[in-house]
Structure 1
């Protein structure tokens, strides 16, 4: 006998002392739970090692709404001797370009040496042999 009551949202079984659960009940609950979990907003995290190319695309199959990238073991911002700054971290959101990183249809693109206008800042998000981590939100 299936359970005598169900949860409000996923309709999972709630057994009372007189119910006799069956394997099908558990399988059904597991399937519902997995489907609900898979429908949640996705967060993708990972890492890459810079290759020094002017730009690099990291693909993971969906367009993120936002992405954060930073160098591992290096300051996110460093002052240069000329008063400018080197940025080793960046944030971008869909529809806008961040400094040194931009969202693409299936991931994001980073730049090794990106200048914006007259800003005395340089973005280094693909420097050779530097490890970076990222977090992207769907």
Structure 2
């Protein structure tokens, strides 16, 4: 894999730094306003994804510290936020998996009923055959 040209690498770094600055500012605004601090709230305020916040060790630790200072344990915050702190990709894949599981469950149920009917027909045919062989 070829490395990125220098100008693209610099642009990427600048964009990442800008997003980090927006997230820090959003965190400060939320704390100053006394609003609940969560990954979702900071992401919405800063216009970044929650994945970005989770992947940034500095931002992640700051948000967790503020959340703990507010008296909200990380597990309680996750319970309140529900799946909103989960990335959109994970939620989409989970929904897709749930739909596939439901479709497969319905198909297995249908196949079991069909198999039961086939077993019944097979048993009936064996009994009829046994009657004819006995004659």
More helix per residue = 2
CA radius of gyration, larger in? 2
TM-score, length-scaled by structure 1: 0.24
Between the two structures, name the one with larger relative contact order (CA 8 Å, sep ≥ 6). Answer: 1
